[in-house]
Structures are given as C-alpha cells and as structure tokens.
A and B are shown apart, each in its own frame.
Chain A
Amino acid sequence: MVPNTADNLLTAEPPRRNALVRFWTTYVFATDHKIIGLQFLFSSLIWFAIGGFFALAVRWQLAWPWSDMPIVGPALFAESGGQMPPEFYNMLFTMHATIMIFFVVIPILSGAFGNYLIPLMIGAEDMAFPRLNMFSYWFMWPAFGCMILSFFMPGYGPAAGWTSYPPLSVLASSAPSSGGAQQLWVLSLLFVGISSMMGSINYMTTILQMRAPGMKMFRMPMTVWALFITAIMQAFALPVLTAALLMQLSDQTFQTGFFIPEQATANNSTAASGGGQVLLWQHLFWFYSHPAVYIMILPAMGMVSDMLSCFSRKPLFGYRPMVYSITAIAGLGFVVWGHHMFISGMNRILAVSFMVSTMLIALPSGIKVFNWIGTMWGGRLHLTTPMLFSIGFVSMFVIGGLSGIVMSAPPVDIVIHDTYYIVAHLHYVLFGSSILGVFGAIYFWFPKMFGRMMNETLGKLHFLLTFIFLNCTFFPMHFLGRMPRRYAAPYVNESLEGLHDINVFITWSAMLMGAAQLIFAINFFGSLFFGKKSGRNPWRSNTLEWTAPSPPQHGNFESQPLVYRGPYEYSHPDREDDYWPQTDPATEK
C-alpha cells in the first residue's frame, strides 16, 4: 500500500466518477470559489430580470392607471378583466426594491465578483473557508424559496415597502399582506443576512491571510480593497438588521410588541400587545440599510477604478487617497442613517448632527470622482465596452451624488422626502452607478470567467441604449418633487393631474431601457458558446488573475505567483510595453 503522503495525493489519479456524480460535486456541492461566484452571478441575473419586470409593471400602472395589463393581466386578474388592484401595486414596488437590493445588487457584487475575483487577484488558490463559502450560496436558496412562497400568501405578497415600517408591516389587521407574506419576507431576509455574513467572514480572512508572497496590502487592486472594506461593513451592520428582523418576526408571530405602540388599532381591531416604539424599527433598519447603500456601491467603485486605469493605460491617480476615501465612506456610512428620518418624528435637534455627517460623506465621494478624472487625463483611452460603462458610471455617480447633497439639507428634505425626487436620486446611484459598474465588470471579466470575449458591437449598442434610456427614465423624476412615492394612481388627486404626461414619457423610456437589456442577454449567452477565444490576458492588464489560464482551473495558478509591484504600472517610461504585470520579475525593459 502506498503511504498516504501529500506528494502521493497530488500525483494520484483522481477516481473516475460518473457524469451525474461529477455534475453534483462540481456544480452543487461546489467549494471552488469560481463556481460559487458563477452560481451567484447566474442567480442574480435571473432575479435581475424578474425585478426588472416588476419595475415595468409599476411603470405600466403609473402611466395608464387601472388599464388592463397586457399578457399577464387576464391571467392574474380574471375577475377585474385584467387591471391590477392597489394591493398588487404595493406588492410590485415592495418586491421590486427587495429583489433588486437583496437578490441582485448585494449578491452580484459581493457574492459573484467578490468570490470570483478575491482569490484570483491576491494570488490565492481558493478562499480560506471553501465549505463556508458553499454554505453562503446555499443559504440564498431558502431565501429565494421564502420569497417565492410569499407571493402565494394573502394580499399577493409582501406589500409594506422594502423598508417595512411597523405598524403597517406588523399589524395583520392593517393590510392583508401583513400576515404570512410579511413573515416570509422577514425570514427570507434573515437567510440573505446569514449568507452575507458567511461571505464577509470568508473575504476578510482570505484577504488578510492568503495573499501571495509580495502582495502587500498596498499592492492590492482597488477591487480587492473595496470588497475588503465592504466585507467589514457587512460584518458590523448585519447583526443589527438581524436583531431588528427577529424583533419584527416576533412581533408578527408572538405579538411581542417591540414596535407596536400602546392601544394600537387598525380596522377596528386592537393589537394584543403594545408599549413598543414605532421609531425603534426605523433606527435599527436604517442603521443597517444606510451602510448597505455603500455595500451596494463600493465594490462597483473598486472595479471601475481598475477598469479606468487599465483602459487609460495609465496608473490610477492617487491610489492611497482612493483607499483612504473608501475607508472614510465606510466609516462615515455608519453615522448618517438619521438622514432617512429627518421628518420621521425623530428628535429634531439630532437632524442637525446627521446633516453634518451626511455632508461630510460627500467629501471622500468627491475625491474619488476627481481621482477617476485624474486617472483618465493624459491617458491613451481604449473605448471598449467595459471602459464605456466605467465612464458612464462616473458621470452618473456625479448626478446621483449631487442630488444626494441636495437632500442632505434637512429644510430641503422636508419638501422632497418620500417623493419622486428621492426615487430619481436612488436610481441614479443604484442603477446609473452600481448596475452600470456591474455591466462593465461583466464585460471585463467575462473572458476570464468563460475563456471567450463578448461581442464588442453588441456591447457598445447595449451601453448606448441603456445610457440614453436610463437618463430619459430617471432624470425627469427629479421634476416630480410634488408627487409622493408609492401611489398606485397619483392622478386621482387634482394637484397631481398635470404630471400625467411626464409619467407616460418615463414609462416609455423604462420599457425601451428594459428592451435594451435583451441585447445584453443575447450577447451574454451567445458569447458563452460562440465568442472569440480570449487567451489569458486580452486587455493587457497587470493584475494577477490575468496570469492564470482563462478560465482558471481548480486551484487557479499553475505555480505560486510572486508579486513584485503594485497593480497600476501602465505606460511606465522604463519599459517598452505599456503594461507591467505584477508578477513580472524584470526590473526594467
């Protein structure tokens, strides 16, 4: 018998298994960070399509209230002839936001790109805890299951808004959906939270412990820095959300009354318990959900920094200030939650301190924008699809950031709070910035993930149409500052009648923007099978993942990568090539 030593294990032939077993071990019980990353990517993209349809249904109702919905209307609402009831509308915007935030943006950034890129970019063979990583994806499925199940509960599904403010979300008598559907919603988010927590522990450990020799912290690409800071934010913010969700669940299930005031009634039925604080939920919820805003944008900022530098063929401008400003955004992000609550009934003096911290957060964000511009200035720009999406990200982030300053002023927020001005702002940040960043990243790392290039012509067309229609959709919303959010039929109120035409325009733009995503779907799936073979380093980029084969095999690198320099040595004057890989031992030429 051969002794069971490490050398023998490495050279031993892996036992042949049949195809079915191989499928299960590779794709379901996957512990390889790349497979898990792709699992996150595909499930997020599917949910992205579903969430997008929800948005279009919302827009349908806002343009043509109570008109028969095409295709789905007669099937869902046979008794009314195809028009949606107001409870259904409330479910639509609630689930649009919930899906986009918890099933799309957070998992695609941290789950998909975090998993795929961290080990490859720091030169590790896998995550520190591969099985924990597997569980982090598995825990998404009970979350998906609960959310899908909630659609079959009374009231069409959760309909208290993605913020789920009690007492509406807690008193079953206040809305038909505030029973089983709302409990499933809470359960679903608890599972998402467990998944994110497992992920963030893994990312922190991997980045701190498993960097290749020579990969100092300040030689890490911005993508890794951003994912690292994001993981820390998640680890600190999630426990608060988890506690708040458990309290809400217990209020719904055991009538504990954490968030239910004394003698609370709705529809003539008095709550069994009371003595709680309605505002407590809002404080706890926003203590997580404001940092979550940064969890949803910092990784995109990191990836965009890398893409801008690569396609400008120029070092990132102010690498250290970029790292420090991400850290500052993350730190300040924990003390600004009150700006969601200026007029909630919270102590009115407190609003002033939250205003100051919110204004301060504009500072590191501004530094980032200026540094991105400084990165491009004097470069040799290659306007590839990922580069266009990155530049799009920067310019949309400027608009979203500026409207953020507008609403951080409490007197102004009195007027625009909970109106379409806020809707405009948040979509400029979440769609205009985060999603454009995600698209750019998909076009950029697709060759590494699948070994094939995506089609550039289709990619540019996709960018052009998305960019035009996103602005046509979200920019006019700023002007609707008098129109409250979450209205199923705004125009029954005479003061809002005159806003109908603009809403029709917005709906048409949104539908065209939705249609433009078909180009992406065709390009993505077409390129999977028919894309041009990419080779290892199609973009002539410096970072470690491009030294591995495309796609990298299990274990990532053929030999231990050694790191000699930072990730942004483009167009170095001492070299002939305009890039200088981090692993290149040569000191010059």
Chain B
Amino acid sequence: MNRFWSILFFSVPILAIVTFLLTQFAIWPFEEVWFGDSFSDAGKTIDGIFNGIHLLSAAILLGTVLTIGLIIWKFDHRRYEPNSKATYFSHNTKLELIWTAIPAVILVALAFVQMNAWSENKMDRPMTNVNGTMVETPPTVLVKAKQFGWEFYYPGADGILETEDDLYIENLMVVPEQTDIVMQLESRDVIHSFFVSDLRLKQDVVPGMVQFAWFNANRTGDLQILCTELCGWGHYKMSAKLRIVPQAEYDQWLADLQSEYYPSE
C-alpha cells in the first residue's frame, strides 16, 4: 500500500503516452480518430507542427509527472524515522532561472516556427497570373451557409460570380484537384463554420462579413464539410459533400450543371 499512490501517478504519463501511440496505429477503437491523412500540403505542415508540439508535451509530461511519482516514492514520511524533518530550503535562484529561461526559449522558438504556416493558410491568398500581372485568385465558388445546409454558387457562362447567370447547387461542392481553390464565404442567417478536417481547413462564416478561404487538394476523394459553430437545433446535421475530382471531370461536371440550368444553350 505504501507504493500504491506513487504507482498511480507513475501510470498517468505512461498510460497517456501509450494510448496516444495506439491511436497512431488504427487499432480498435481508434480506427478513425484524429484527422486522417491530409488532402493538402498545407495540412501536412500543420500536422508537422501539431506532432512536434505533442512530442514536446510528451517529454514535459513524462518529466514532471514521473518526478511527482518519484517524490511520493522517496519522500513519504512513513519511510523515515518518526521525528525526521524535511530538508529546509525555500528557494534556489539558479535552478529557478534555468527553469524559466529554457521554457522561454522553447516558447519563443515555437511562436516563430508556426508563423509561416498561419500566413500560408489564412493571410496570403493565392495569386494568379492575369496578362502578366499577379492578382489575387478570384473565388471559384461562393459558399452561403444557412440553417441548416450549404449553398454553393458557381460562375455561369460569363465566368464571374455574383451575376445573374450563377449556377446554384445545394449540399454538394465539386472542385478540381491540384488547383488553388478560393472560396467566398457568406452567411444567410447566424454564424456557421466551414470545416473540412481532411483538408485541415476551418473558417467561421459570419453574417454581415464576406470572407475568403483557400486550399489546394493534392488528390481526389469524397470528403465531408461540417458546421463547427453552434447554429441552432439542426447544427449536428448541417453537412455537405465535398468531391475532389480530376480537372477534366470537373470541367465536364460544370458543363453538365450549366446545361441543366440552361438546356436551350
């Protein structure tokens, strides 16, 4: 019984890290945890930062909680003479400076390491070459979120969004692979959030604001768009399909949509 509590605390970081590792090997019940293999290169960078910080955390968790277990093991008063006293010390300036300085350096480094990923994902909108000048890539699709579904608008024959001839489709978004896709996000009612975990992409869709989000899918596949901002009773079922297809298939799909809308042309 003397050792019981220290073993309990020893087991915390060990079990935590073991389960964490198990989740990496798709064993029951962890077949579908985390986010899956990223469908975008930007997502892979995010995964790298995520795993890096987790690795660092695992080291700190092991270091601190194993020490706690060791302290309980070593310094339980029952292991000493009845009148034995604790070592009397109240500070150690050198030690305290060390354990302030080292984390400070690590944290500052961490802050710098991720800035590029943030600007790549959220600040530097992809550029396109139009007649020799680089301009911000125009949106491929206009997304309007509403209680409880997603509306997608594609440019019609004029190739420009928000005109009379826009093509409209609900709860299905189709985009070509290996292309910079820019989305214009708007809300019809309350706040929603556009979340595709496989693309590591999320952006709140705020009424009264026009926002842009972008991604570049590196392979084809059928993904799911989920809403991640509470939007009312149907929040849980506010999903849409995101189909990533080869360029040729995308062109065909858009042409089909066009002819469905305007059969005479």
Contact = CB atoms under 8 A, between A and B. Distances in A.
A380 B60 CA distance: 25
Given A344-B204, A355-B111, A398-B64, A481 B34 contact: yes
Interface stretch (A17-25, A363-371, A439-447, A538-546): A363-371
B233 to A, nearest CB: 4
Nearest to B71: A376
Nearest to B33: A479
Contacts of A571: 85-88
A501 interface: yes
Interface stretch (B96-104, B128-136, B256-264): B96-104
Nearest to A574: B88
How many chain A residues sit at the interface, stated as a range, is 35 or more
Contacts of B191: 165, 167-168, 278
A314 B57 contact: no
A145 interface: no
A264 B207 CA distance: 7
Contacts of A370: 64, 96, 99
B190 A399 contact: no
B253 interface: no
Contacts, number: 308
B181 interface: no
Nearest to A88: B233
Given A312-B86, A344-B204, A165 B45 contact: no
Interface stretch (B137-145, B157-165, B168-176, B193-201): B193-201
B222 to A, nearest CB: 9
B114 A411 contact: yes
Nearest to B50: A412
Interface string A120-161: 000000000000000000000000000000000000000111
How many chain B residues sit at the interface, stated as a range, is 35 or more
Residue from A320, A402, A484 whose CB has the most chain B CB atoms within 10 Å: A484
A501 B28 contact: yes
Interface in B168-214: 188-191, 193, 195, 197, 200-204, 206-209, 211
B219 interface: no
B127 interface: no
A568 interface: yes
B5 A388 contact: yes
Contact of A360 (B77, B88, B107): B107
Contact of B57 (A374, A381, A405, A493): A405
A493 B189 contact: no
A166 B91 CA distance: 50
A438 interface: no
A348 B122 contact: yes
A377 interface: yes
Residue from B53, B86, B103, B189 whose CB has the most chain A CB atoms within 10 Å: B86
Contacts of B75: 312, 376-381
A499 interface: yes
Given A314-B88, A411-B49, A411-B121, A495 B71 contact: no
Given A398-B64, A409-B53, A502-B29, A484 B233 contact: no
Contacts of B123: 348-349
A561 to B, nearest CB: 23
B9 interface: yes
Contacts of B5: 383, 388
- What are the nearest 7 A-B pairs in CB distance? A261-B208, A498-B32, A378-B87, A501-B29, A487-B236, A411-B117, A380-B77
20 contacts: A85-B233, A167-B191, A264-B189, A315-B88, A344-B204, A345-B203, A352-B115, A360-B107, A362-B103, A376-B75, A378-B86, A380-B80, A381-B71, A381-B76, A405-B53, A412-B46, A417-B202, A479-B34, A489-B236, A570-B88
Interface of A: 85-87, 90, 159-161, 165, 167-168, 171, 174-176, 261-262, 264-267, 277-279, 312-321, 343-345, 348-349, 351-352, 355-356, 359-360, 362-363, 366-367, 369-371, 373-374, 376-383, 388, 391, 394-395, 398-399, 402-403, 405-406, 409-412, 414-415, 417-419, 464, 467, 471, 475-476, 478-482, 484-490, 492-499, 501-502, 505, 568, 570-573, 578
